[in-house]
Amino acid sequence: MKLRGYFARSAVIASMAIASAGCNAGDVFSAGSLAVSTVSAMMKPSGAGAAVVTGVSKETADDTKRLYLSTVKRGAAAFRSGVIAVSSDADVDRDNFCEMVLKDVAQVSDRGGLLSAAECRAKDQVDKMFDALERGDAAAFALAKGKAGGHIAEMETIIAAAEKEATP
Amino acid sequence: MNVPPAVAQALLGLVRQAAERKLDGIGSSAFQSLAAGVGDFLDERQKRELKSYLTGARGEVQAAHDDFRQAARGKPAR
């Protein structure tokens, strides 16, 4: 319970600092995750504490994973229902599209292409988040989780805009 | 319950760096020493549980990604 109090207060501190600094959504996710992981790292002086820390990281990783899965399923459904048209951007159809996106060489312009690119970036960060959790690298975990959150939010914005337009 | 001043100060410093968009440069030695070694405290059972969780989670994510890519290319679900 003591740990929860620290998290709650830390979140308030982080929120205030972020609000005063005027960041974008990705930064807010990153900074928030960073704060949680930092407190986690600080609170692990004993073996018992470390078990709690890992539990917290796993739990927050699972939150991000669930958010990713639900957003990706919503995106796939939007494509299949025609709410979002299949992209006419040629790169999207390539097998190595995500590699191209991660190297910043993919060309996307329409809604389907932009959503696909955001999905590639989100998936890459979710993978990195899992890798960091496995290594016990709290700093990399926080960064990847934050960036994943930013890309997932970007996907949600694109899907929501399409759904709004499709609603009569 | 009060947050210890040292914790609050460390958090504020890190958040300030994040706010200044220096996220990629945060790997200072102090931060690394705080962050490093979480896995070192896990016992064998916890390590197995984590590995099992990660295997399942990675599989779910990959499956959802593959299905999304199919949909994005105008192909039906597998």
Chain B residues within an 8 Å CB radius of A137: 35-36, 38
The string of pLDDT tens digits covering residues A96-136 is 999 999 999 999 999 999 999 999 999 999 999 999 998 88
Dihedral sign from CA coordinates of A65, A68, A74, A78: negative
Percent of chain A having pLDDT more than 70? 67
Chain B residues within an 8 Å CB radius of A4: none
Identify the residue with better confidence: A91 or A46: A91
Q: Alpha-carbon distance A96 to A106, whole Å?
A: 10
Contact A17 B60 (CB under 8 A): no
Preferred mutation among B65, B70, B75 to probe A, highest tally of A CBs within 10 A: B65
- Please provide the distance, in angstroms rounded to a whole number, between the alpha carbons at the two ends of chain A: 48
Q: Decide if pLDDT at A28 tops 70.
A: no
Contact A40 B38 (CB under 8 A): yes
State the pTM of this model: 0.65
Which stretches in chain B have pLDDT values below 70? Answer: 1-41, 78
* ipTM > 0.85, yes or no: no
- Nearest CA to A145 out of A65, A72, A54, A44 is that of A65
Q: Alpha-carbon distance A156 to A145, whole Å?
A: 16
- Nearest CA to B40 out of A130, A4, A53 is that of A53
CB of B19 within 8 Å of a chain A CB? The answer is: yes
Classify residue A115 as exposed, middle or buried by CB count within 10 Å of its CB (0-12, 13-18, 19+): buried
**Cα of B21 to nearest chain A Cα, Å:** 8
Identify the residue with better confidence: A73 or A3: A73
* Nearest C-alpha in A relative to B57: A65
